[in-house]
Structure 1
Amino acid sequence: MSFKDLKLNRPILRAIAEAGYDNPTLVQEKTIPKVLEGKDIIVSAQTGTGKTAAFALPILQGLFDRQDAPKKGKTIKALIVSPTRELAQQIGDNFKSYSSYTNLTTTVIYGGTSIEPQKDILKKGVDILIATPGRLLDLHKQDIINLDYVETLVLDEADLMLEMGFIDDVKKIERLCTRDKQILLFSATIPYKVEQLASSILNAPERIEVAQNASTSKNVNQLLYYVPKKNKIELCLHLLRNTIKGNIIIFRRTKFGVDKLEKTLLKNGYKADSIHGDKSQIARQEALNKFKKGDVSILIATDVAARGIDINNLDAVVNFDLPNIPETYVHRIGRTARAGKSGMAYSLCSADEKNYVQSIQQLIHLQLEIIEEHPYPLDPKAKPIVHKSKKTGSKHKKGRKSEASKKKKKRWY
C-alpha cells in the first residue's frame, strides 16, 4: 500500500515524500482511514511504529479544505495532549513538516519555559495546538486558550500520562472541549486505568492493535550481566571500554542515579550528558540536541524524560537499573534497532533485581542471554542487601515519666 491509497491530498503527499517516507507503516495503514471516517479510536502501539503520522496526516487532511482563516483569526481545531515536553516538541516538528505545503498553523506549548512568547503566538490564532497538560490548563485559566472549537482531541502516550498523575487534568481538558468531537487515544500499553479513562470519555471507539505489546524487535541482541550492586559502575565502565560502542542511552531509575553516573563518566573522559525531570527544559533540549548531533555519544536518562524521544542511529541501550515494570524494559530497548537496523541491549542485574528479570522474560517470552565472563560476577547465592538500623528497640521509652521526673526529688507525698 502507498500513501496515495489512503486518499491523502497532493500537498500532504508532497510533504511526506520530501520527509523521505514511501509507504505507510502498519499503524498508519490501519489508523488513517478510521480517523478520516471521523471515528473515535484506541490505538495500542509502541514508540517507533510511526504513530505520530498516523494521527497527524488525517488531522491535516481534514483541516486542509477549511484552512483559510476567517476574519476573526484562526481557532484551535485540533488539540494534541502529550505527557512530556520533548514528546510535544517532537510532535510539533512532525506537524510542521507534514503541513509545509498548506496554510495550516501549528504551535507547541509546555512548562519550564517563558509563558509570554506562547501567549503572543496563541493570541494570533492557530489551527493545531500541541500541549502538555499543566501549561495548557494554566493558559486556559488565563483566558488565552479557547477550546470551544476543538474537533479532534488526541491523547498521546496515555499510559505514561496516567503514570505521571495527569488523569484529572486529562479529564478536565476533555470536558473543556466541545462535546461533539473526535477523540484519538494512543498508548504503548493499555492497562486497566487507560481502559477506564477510554470507557469514560470515548464514544464507541474502534480498537487498533499493532504487534503485541510484549514484543521486542528480533534485531535487538539482549544481554544480561549479573553483578553486585556496589560494582555496577565499575562494570559499566568496563563495558564502555571494551564492549559497548557507538551512540548509547543509559537508563537509571532515579534522577540522583542519573547525576551520579554522569559525573563518573565525565571524570573518566567520556562525552556524556543527561536528561531527567529536575532539569530545565532548555537544558534537556540542549542535551538531546548535542546527542543527536554527535557532540556527546552517551545520554543518561530516567524513563519519564526519555519516553517517546525519537533518536535515529542508536547503537545500544544500557539498563543500568532494571525497571520494576516489565513493559518499561520493552520501551527502553525499542529505542535501538529501528527501521530494520540492528542494535544491542545490555542489562546489569544486582541480587535485588532478579525478580524483575523473571517478569521481563515472562512478558517477552524470551530467555535473556547471560554473560558470565566479566570481572565483577555476582555470587549465585548472594541475597539482596537489606539495610537495617543498628539501633534496636523504640527510641520512645516505655512509661510516661520524663527524664526530669526520674531525677531523685523529694516528693511531698
Structure 2
Amino acid sequence: MSFEDLGLSAPLLRAIADAGYTAPTPIQSQAIPAVLTGGDLLAGAQTGTGKTAGFTLPLLEKLASAGPAHPRVIRALILTPTRELAAQVEESVRVYGKYLSLKSLVIFGGVGMNPQIDALRRGVDILVATPGRLLDLHQQGEVNLRHVSFFVLDEADRMLDMGFIHDIRKVLAILPPEKQSLLFSATFSDEIKALAERLLKSPRIIEVARRNATADTIAQKVHPVDRDRKRELLTHLIERHDWHQVLVFTRMKHGANRLVEYLDKHGISAMAIHGNKSQSARTRALSEFKAGTLRVLVATDIAARGIDIDQLPHVVNFELPNVPEDYVHRIGRTGRAGAEGEAVSLVCVDEEGFLADIERLIKRPLPREVVPGFEPDPHAKAEPIQLGRRVLHGAPGARGSEPARSPSPRSAAPRNGRGTPRKADDRPARSRSR
C-alpha cells in the first residue's frame, strides 16, 4: 500500500515525499482512512509506530478540504502529556502541512505566556497543547475552543500515569459536544477504557501491536552488575562498543544529574533532561542529541516522552522502572519503523523483582549476559530502593512500597496511585506562569 491509496490530496503527498516516506506504517494505513471517513477512533499503538502521522495527516486533509475559516479559529485541538511531545507533534503538523494554508501553534508550560497569547490572537487552525498551559490560557480568556471540530488525546496512558485525569475532564467540559474525537494509547488499561467511554461515541477500535509487546526489531539483554558499579559498566560499554546516540534512563532527576557528571568526567559528552531543567536546556540537549553531537542523553521517564529520533540505536536502562509498562515505553525509543535497535538493562540484586515483573508483562525471558570484569557479588543482599519519599522493595518476592517518612502536606508532591511523581510544570499554576 502507498500513501496515494489512502485518499490524501496532492499537497500532503508532496510533503510526505519531501520528508522521505514512501509507504505507510500499519497504524497509518488503518487510522488515516478511518479518520477521513469520520467517526471517533480508539487506537492502540506503541511508541515509534508512526501514530503521529496517523492522526496529523487526516486532520490536515479534512481541515484543508473544509476550506479556511473566517476569522481563523481553533478547529483542531491535540492534547499531549509533555512539552517535548507537544513540540514534536506540532513539528509534524508543520512538516506535513507545509503546502497548505493552515496555521498551527504549540503551547506548554515552562516558557512565557505572552508570545503564545500573541499567536493565539492572530488566529490558529490547529492547536497542540499540554493540559496545564491550555487551562491557564482558557481561564484567562485567551483560548476559544467553541469551534473545535477535531480533538486528539495523544499518549492517553501517560496522561493518566502523570495524574492529568482531572485536567482532561476540565478540557472535555469546555469542548463542543459535537466533534470527532481520537484517543491514542500504548496500552488499553481499565482506566483507558473508562476514559474512552466518556470521550468517544461508538468508536472504531484499532490495535496494531500486541498489548504490552516489545518490537521484534529490538535486541534486548540484561547485564547483571553490582549496584555500585553501574556507572563504571555503562562507561565501559559505551567506550568498548563505540556507542553514539545513547539514551539512558534513570528513575530520579538527581540520579540523572550525577550520572551526567560521571560520564563527563570520563570524557563522554552527556546531558540530562528532566522536569527541573529549563525549557531552553531541554531543547538544547534534544537538539544536540538528535544532531549526533551529544553522545549520551540521560532522561527520566516523563521527560523522555516525545523524543522522536530516527534510527536511535541504543537505549540503556541504567535503573529498571518499578512500573513494568514503563519498560515497554522506554525501549520503544529504538527499533522504530523496522530499524534495528538495542535495549540494554543494567540490573543489580535490588531490581530482580522488577525484572521478573517486566518479563511477566512482555511474556518472555530477557537474556542475561555478565560482562567480564563486572561479575556481580553472588552473596550480595538486596536493599530497599529510595524513590523520593517512598521506599521500593524490588527484590524477588518483596513486592510493594512504603513511605520513607511522613512528609508534611505542603511538601508532599502529587503522585498517582503507583507512586510516580506527577509532573508539576504542565499543571495549572497561576502564580508560576506569570
Aligned counterpart, 1:28? 28
Aligned counterpart, 2:179? 181
In structure 1, give the amino acid aligned to 2:130: T
Alpha-carbon distance between aligned partners in 1 of 2:311 and 2:101, rounded to the nearest angstrom: 33
CA displacement 1:238-293 (0-9 Å, x = unmatched): 22232361210110011011001001111111111111111111110110001111
Matched, 1:150 2:159: no
Aligned counterpart, 1:39? 39
Aligned counterpart, 1:277? 275
Matched, 1:15 2:15: yes
Alpha-carbon distance between aligned partners in 2 of 1:218 and 1:159, rounded to the nearest angstrom: 22
Residues 203-282 of structure 1 correspond to what in structure 2 (within 5 A)?
203-243=201-241, 245-282=243-280
Question: Secondary structure of the equivalent of 2:66?
Answer: coil
Native 8 Å contact 1:235 1:375 kept in 2: no
CA displacement 1:51-105 (0-9 Å, x = unmatched): 01111111111111233342xx201000000101110111111101111111111
Aligned equivalent of 1:297, options 273, 295, 298: 295
Question: Secondary structure of the equivalent of 2:350?
Answer: helix
In structure 1, give the amino acid aligned to 2:291: K
Aligned counterpart, 1:409? none
Higher gyration radius (CA): 1
CA displacement 1:145-178 (0-9 Å, x = unmatched): 1000000110000011111111111111111010
Alpha-carbon distance between aligned partners in 2 of 1:231 and 1:293, rounded to the nearest angstrom: 30
Matched, 1:312 2:300: no
Q: Any unmatched runs of 5+ in structure 2?
A: 387-434
Aligned counterpart, 1:102? 100
Aligned equivalent of 1:335, options 333, 336, 344: 333
Residues 195-206 of structure 1 correspond to what in structure 2 (within 5 A)?
195-206=193-204
Q: Any unmatched runs of 5+ in structure 1?
A: 389-413
Aligned counterpart, 1:410? none
Question: Secondary structure of the equivalent of 1:335?
Answer: coil
Alpha-carbon distance between aligned partners in 2 of 1:250 and 1:381, rounded to the nearest angstrom: 28
Native 8 Å contact 1:274 1:301 kept in 2: yes
Native 8 Å contact 2:74 2:127 kept in 1: yes
Greater shift, 219-228 or 256-265, is seen at: 219-228
Aligned counterpart, 1:360? 358
Native 8 Å contact 2:49 2:337 kept in 1: no
Alpha-carbon distance between aligned partners in 1 of 2:104 and 2:189, rounded to the nearest angstrom: 31
Residues 21-100 of structure 1 correspond to what in structure 2 (within 5 A)?
21-70=21-70, 73-100=71-98
Aligned counterpart, 2:420? none
Native 8 Å contact 2:77 2:152 kept in 1: yes
Instruction: Give 4+ residue runs of structure 1 displaced > 6 Å after superposition.
Output: none
TM-score normalised over the length of structure 2 = 0.86
CA displacement 1:166-207 (0-9 Å, x = unmatched): 111111111101011111000111222111111122111111
How far has the Cα of 1:386 moved from its partner?
A: 4.6
CA displacement 1:94-148 (0-9 Å, x = unmatched): 1011111111111111111111010011001111000000110011011111000
Question: Secondary structure of the equivalent of 1:21?
Answer: coil
In structure 2, give the amino acid aligned to 1:275: I
Q: CA RMSD in A?
A: 1.6
The count of aligned residue pairs is: 386
Question: Measured at CA, do residues 160 and 316 of structure 1 come closer, stay the same or move farther in structure 2, by a change above 3 Å?
Answer: same
Native 8 Å contact 2:187 2:212 kept in 1: no
Alpha-carbon distance between aligned partners in 1 of 2:242 and 2:186, rounded to the nearest angstrom: 28
How far has the Cα of 1:387 moved from its partner?
A: 8.9
Query: What percent identity do the matched residue pairs reach?
Result: 48
Alpha-carbon distance between aligned partners in 2 of 1:56 and 1:139, rounded to the nearest angstrom: 24
Native 8 Å contact 2:349 2:380 kept in 1: yes
Question: Secondary structure of the equivalent of 1:11?
Answer: helix
Matched, 1:128 2:101: no
